[in-house]
Amino acid sequence: MDSKPSAEPLSGGRKPPTPVKIVIAGGYGVGKTTAVASISEIPPLRTEAAITAVGAEVDRPGHTPGKTTTTVALDFGCITIDEDVKLYLFGTPGQDRFGFMWHDLVVGALGALVIVDTRRLDDCYPAVDYFEKAGVPFVVAVNKFDGMLNHDLNDVRWALAVSDEVPLVTFDARVKLSVRDALLAVLRNTFDRARSRAGA
């Protein structure tokens, strides 16, 4: 007689929550970890992830085309939506080429928030480029570091060359409700896209 303890979860028959996620991208120091920390229920955690960087498409002086594997830090936090749904926020560096890890990261994501620092706009180009090509609905959020913008939002849109359909918002990564509103912009954008696709 096999008396092995069962393989049932310890939760007493209750299933673990359904995980959903939003990806937060942008260059180094743009406020990703700050944004995650402002709204996450847990202090942001950091883990290491491998990224296969393919540099062949990038024309940078001194940059050797080819493929290298680097380890990047992935900062994340979470928010309990209700008893059965848990939202994860994954913040990841966005100024390098993306490899398989990025595919893993965005599959099934409810959308992405690309955080922009207007003093270093080009840091976010690869992220914008990636999400456009991968068909991930995204919103561009300008982080107001000093409570003011160096550029008009229309200038930012023009400089990033994103279409009018991509929502552009301003927010303050240090303020919880401001981060919440930026995430809501991501979700509403995804919702609108999903609805128009369903209706088409």
- The answer to whether 39 and 179 are in contact (CB under 8 A) is yes
Nearest approach, Cβ of residue 94 and other proteins (Å): 17
Parallel, antiparallel or unpaired: strands 138-143 and 18-26 = unpaired
Nearest approach, Cβ of residue 101 and other proteins (Å): 8
Phi/psi zone of residue 126: left (φ > 0), alpha (ψ -120 to 50 degrees), beta? alpha
Helix axes 176-199, 32-39, angle to 10 degrees: 100
Which residues lie near other proteins (CB under 8 A)? 4-11, 15-21, 39, 45-50, 71, 74, 76, 78-82, 85-88, 90, 104-105, 107-111, 136-137, 176-177, 180, 183-184, 187-188, 190-191, 194-195, 197-198
CA atoms lying within 13 Å on the CB side of residue 155: 7
Nearest approach, Cβ of residue 64 and other proteins (Å): 25
Nearer to other proteins, 53 or 187 (CB): 187
CA dihedral 100, 101, 102, 107 (to 10 degrees): 90
Residue 32 CB: number of other CB atoms within 10 A? 27
**How many Å apart are CA 165 and CA 106, to the nearest integer?**
20
Nearest approach, Cβ of residue 24 and other proteins (Å): 13
Nearer to other proteins, 174 or 188 (CB): 188
Nearer to other proteins, 105 or 116 (CB): 105
Nearest approach, Cβ of residue 86 and other proteins (Å): 7
Nearer to other proteins, 71 or 152 (CB): 71
Nearer to other proteins, 121 or 169 (CB): 169
Question: Residue 85 pairs with which residues in a beta bridge?
Answer: 18, 82
